[in-house]
Structures are given as C-alpha cells and as structure tokens.
Chain A
Amino acid sequence: MKTLKLFAGLVMGTALCGPVAAQDNLDKLGNMQKTGATFTMIEQTGATADSLAAIIPHINVPKGFEVSLYAVVPDARSMAVAPQGTVVFVGTRKDKVWSVVDRDRNRVADQVMDFAPSITFDIPNGPCFSSDGFLYIAERNRVLQFPAAEFFFEGPDPAVGVVVKQGDLIPAEEESFNHTARVCRIGPDGKLYISLGQPHNIQPLDKLEMYDKIGMGGIIRMNTDGSGREVFTRGVRNSVGHDFNPANGDLWWTDNQTDGMGDDIPPGEINRQTAAGQHFGYPWLGGINTVIPDYKDVPRPEGVEFIPPAVEMQAHAADLGMSFYRGKSFPAEYQKGIFSAQHGSWNRTVPVGAQVMFTKVDDEGNAAGTEVFADGWLNKDTGEYRGRPMDIAFLPDGSMLVSDDFAGAIWRIAYAGEAAE
C-alpha cells in the first residue's frame, strides 16, 4: 500500500513518539525496556500562569476558605492523588496524562510533565489509584495499569500492564468523541469500577439491549487483572464522576441528563447505589420523574425497580467529577459530605453551572441538602466561561483540588480559618 512508506517516514520525521513505535512501546515497557521517548514540560510561571491568577479574584468561596492556583495543566480532567501525596495524575480528553508534582509541599506545583510519554494514549480521561500504589488509567477503549507510578513517573518508560486491551472496553464501532470520557475508582471490594457513557443523546432502541449487556450507559466493575467483568450499575446516561462513601461503601455517582428537552428539564442527578445491578431508569426517566419522550411507549425492563436519584441538580449544569471529603482540615459541617464539580451547560439559553457543589451526607448515608460551595467561573454578565470545573480531589492536608479543562488549570481551595474541631 502506497501510504505505508509515507507513514514510516512520518514517524521518523516527528521522531518523538510516533504511533508505530507506540504499539511496540507497550510491549517494550511490559518487558521493562527503554523507548527513547521524551517529556513535554509545562511552564508553571509566566503569561499563562499570570492570566490564570487573574481569574482567582472572581471565584467565590465560603468565609474562611482561600483559592489559589495549584498548577498550570492543559486540558485538566479527572485527577488521582497518589498515595504518598507527592504527585497528582491528571487525565485529559486528548492524548496526555499529566503528572503534577509538589516536592517542597508548599501547595503550589513545581513540576508538570506528561506521564509515560512513550505510550500513545487515546482520551485517557480517568486515572485512579489502588491503595497499594497501582495507577489505573481508563481510556476511551482500553485500561492500563502502572505499578508504583508515584515512583516510576520520573522516567519516560514506566512499567505498564494491560487490564483491558484496546477495543475490549466497548465495541470499536461504538466509539464516539464525547460520552467517552471514563472515570475509575477502586472499590472497597478491591475491584476496579469504570463508568461507560452511551454514545448518543438518547440511545436508539435497537442499541438498548446490547448497551445494557455491555454496561454502556452504566458502570462496570472487574478484578484489577481485567477478569470477572460485570455490569454493576444500569440505567445511566453518561456518568463522569463516582466515589464510594467511606462510611458504608455505597457508590455515589453523577449523571448528565438528556439534551434538547428545554432549559429546565430533565434535572441533573447525583445517585446513590446500595447494591450491585441496580437500575437507575435511563433512558425511560431523567431525574426523579421526567419521562424521556423517545421511550414513553417502550416497555420498561420486567421486574426491575428504577432507583430515583438521591439529589436532583440544576438541569444542564453538567455534574461531573465528585469526591467524598475524607480530610480533617475543613470545618465539621463539610466532613463526610460530597463535593462535586459542575462543568457548566453548553446549549442552555442562559448558561448555568461552572461551580463546585457540596452535598451533605447524614449518618444514615442519605443526602441531606445540596448547596453551592464555590462559583465565579461563569461570567454571568456575558455568559462566558472563565473556567470549567471538572473534577474534585483532595491533598493529604485536606485541601481541595479542582481541575479545570477550559482554563487549563488546577485550582486549590484550602480552609484558612480556625482549625476544625
């Protein structure tokens, strides 16, 4: 084929990490060999950092909290704080995973560079850690595992294993470039949980059964070696954030709802799942009881109870990443609750969202009130975004990190008031 020679030349020409080399690299890295890949470093001072710093005065937080710029990170999406707390791994909807390092622990990153530059990533949105230091990265259609990533990230060729090989997460023909940003977490059972959005606004009827079986429009779980895959959560539209309640192991997750039904319906969702296999109603229902017209006359799955969301959120605000607060430094009222990021709307007449929300969780594990925690990333006068919060994570000191893929930043929100009780 005529193009083959050309592509070989192209790889040589760009020299850094051509894709032909990349497939070989996965094999090479598995054998602990070197590839010759080089890092992309992101400047942490200068014009970009200055323009990001100028956003900070616009961000509103409750009394006693302070906002700062933690790092300049292009396209920053879901975050995973490594167990030792030195490095934060940050996914993107492009082709990079960033390592963000704060060696001197002054709570400002001093080094941001791409992780595993020898590997050709494809929408590596979702990093997550096991407590014993394995980093998992859920891509559009592959899942990789990096042992001791917190120590190996400084070399371009970290050890890597394949948990789900390319094309086995979903059928390749179902790949899209929107509802394909995965997130993952290791559950209390030690299994790997991965969200799988379905690649439509509303899935067509002829795809319904196939998606349900695969777990598209759901959350799947598997052993960390990729075996024992099963659908854990059904009836989801496109979830891009989940976390386990450390108090009782319930899985909570956000879900983005149907577009094109108007500005104010269906409500966004934060869901609470208490058992494997529960069905949350999509594509029949959005929010507690908004009927999706396309499925009005489609019989609901027999013998299945739809679990309503624990919290209805503002329609189209795009609730994405979320984390339970496990730290100590925030005031007592925030402890054990959920912080979640609203990415902001895209075609709502008046833009909404672009804020950090807080949901209190009571001793019985129920949602007990949701409020705005931080806002100001949306300029309400012009409807323009200054930034778009995407995910929430916490440093070992209990301070919050907010990733922002629009501004290309990670913001830090710390409590500077009197110490919590």
Chain B
Amino acid sequence: MSAHESNYTPTSRVGKWFDERLPIARLMHGQFVDFPTPRNLNYAWTFGGILTFCLVAQLVTGIVLAMHYQPSAAEAFNSVDRIRRDVNFGWLIQPMHAVGASMFFIAVYIHIFRGLYYGSYKAPREVLWILGVFILLAMMATAFMGYALPWGQMSFWGVTVITNLFSALDSIWAGLGTAIVEWLWGGYAVTGVTLNRFFSLHYLLPFVIVGLVALHIWALHVAGQNNPTGLDIKSKSDSVPMYPFAVAKDAVGLFAFLIVFAWFVLIMPDYLGHADNFTPANALVTPPHIVPEWYFLPFYAILRAVPSKLGGVVAMFAAVLILVFVPWLDTSRVRSAKYRPYYKIAFWFFVFTCVALGWLGSKPAEQPYVFWSQFFTIAYFAFFLIAMPVLGLIETPRPLPRSITESVLGRVTGGVAPVPAGAAAAPEKR
C-alpha cells in the first residue's frame, strides 16, 4: 500500500503471538490509524466516512426488517404496515431504512460532486473513481429493488416502468427486449413472482456493495487521498496521521449528518416518499403521475426529455456511465477547481443543471417542462463532452502553491515560517 510503515507494536504477549500468525491488527493500524492524510482536508472529505456509516446502517436495519417482511404479492403491503404498527420498534427501524436510502444518496451525490470539483478522478485515482461509479450503479439497483418491496402503487408502477426500459431493445433486435423483460418479470406482467426475486436480489446486492467498497478503500489507500489543493503529499509536514486528526473531523461531519438523518426519521419519516405508495399495488390503475424517488429524478428527466423510446433509455444510462470516462474527458493538468477559474463556473452550472433536472423530473410530461428538460439534458452532457475537454486546453490555471503545507501556512520566507496559533499543538511524530 502507501509508502509508509505501520507503527503497530503489540503490547501484550497474546497480541504479539497473534500478530506473528495473522497481522490483521497491524494492517488496520497502518491503514486507519497511522495512515497519512493531507493536513488540509475540509469537511467535504468527511463523506467517505459518512457513506460507510450509511452502508452499515442500511445493512443492520435491512436485516432486521427482513425478519418481519413477507415478500409475496398478497402479504407484502400488509407486512410493511404490520412492521410500522405492531413490531417492537418497527416504527423506528422501518423509517430508518427508508429514510436511510435517501440519506445514503444525499451523501453519495455530495461525495461525487466533491470528486468532480477537486479533480479526485485524475491520475493516479482513475480506478478508485471507476470503482465509485460501480458502487453508484449497485446502489441504484439496490434502491430501485428496495422501493418495490412495500408493494404500493408507486412500487408496482415504478417496477413496471423501469423494467420496461429494457423493452426498448426490441427496436434493435425484434423480440430481444420483450424476452429480457419477461425474464426479469417471470411472467407477462409484474406480479408477486417479480416481487419475490427483487427481495432476494435486494438482500444480495448490499453485500456486493460491501465488496466494491473494500476495493474502493483499497484503491484509495494505494493512491492516497486527494485534497483541496489537488497537490500530492510531498513531505512529512504535508500530512497528519489519520487518527486522531481525520477521524475526529469525520466524527464531527458524521454527527452533523446524523442530526439531519434523525430529524427526518423521527419528525417526518414519510416526507421523502410518495403518498401513492400507501395505496396497495393495483395492476389495472396507473397513478396519474408516476415519479421515482427524488434521487432518481434527474435521470428520469433525461429519460423523458428524449422523444424516442430507445434514445431516452440510452441517454439515461449514458448519464451515469459517462462518469466512467471522466478521468480521460478532463484534459486539465491541474486537479483542483480552486485554481481553475472557468472550470469552477462550469462546475457550478453543472450542479445547477442536476438540481434543475431533478425538479423537472418531478413535473408532468408537458410543456414547458419538456423543453427545459431537453435544455438541461444537453447542458448535462455538454459539461462532460465539451466543458471538460475544452476548458482543460484553453484555460490558464491560477498559480498553485508549492506544497500542501504552503497552502496552509503561507509561503515560507527567510527560513522563518509564520506559525498560526494552534499549529504548534500538533504532535510532531512524523
């Protein structure tokens, strides 16, 4: 892994005996205690830890819910109701899981935007970034199948609409799309058979995510963390050990995040959901206005913006998959947007584009929403396909500090470093 040695020294005889046989404590100490983290990380860097918390929380609450949930068309809706009303603490655990999915996506989107702003996808972090895109895809699949489980109207019609996306393949090869859709459904329409398999896969996929996250963290600990300057760690004074510095900062970020989380769970548990999902699934009535959960709305807007079935489906999947190519689309040599005046503007316009698409995705498919969906769909892809490659070539970056230390302490003049208050308190065991 990274160019540093674990300072682990077993203190007890048992610890020493164990370390010689399975040095797992040494590994953990090296990667999560001594690990050098850039000294200038800001709060945007706490979302990795927050996401780890989200994943564990979803696993724990999900395993509990699976003890009470019944994945059948006849009983699914009632069993969720029973969990919320009768099961001990079900009123708490069910919203923790449902709200938890939304919180997971809030955190992951901030995490992705942070990566885009500070150029965390650039060499040598391409594999780390691509693993992240795979995690996002796995999260989307898991969330989609999880939303099916309460078997309300939105569950049912969400599954119908999204699985039908694959029928667009019929226009490439007649019958292929239909065959795939019927294979996914296990019938000729969405039924309890479909619900049953979605439950099985919804239980499986989080463990796939755990595996991908392990690889993501491994890749992170090979390349080391990026930081707001985008500079590499060059000297010992550029970094601090992960514990207690980064861990303490992560804890502050996590607690702030948990306040928002708890507020939703305890005060407005169903705010992020949709009222139609409190009506049991009915195969004969489509709700007048189908919308996915908020975290899928930007992609839903892109799907609806393209006036062709196959084109819409392709655009929607491309909107996620284009992230894979970002390390090569961005031609700039400077990582951080802090030193890239034009990219910074493009980035914030891109953030606005995503929010606008999200809002438009919640609106019915009529004018003027369709026009603006099309406008922002073009803007979305233009950010990746035009702004990223072109700005890297024409932009003159601002002067970069010579090191991370200099960005924090200012330029060292005449051998006397201006030491800000508090800096001397850092233990100099570097």
Please determine whether chains A and B interact with each other in the same assembly. no
Q: Which residues of A contact B (CB under 8 A)?
A: none
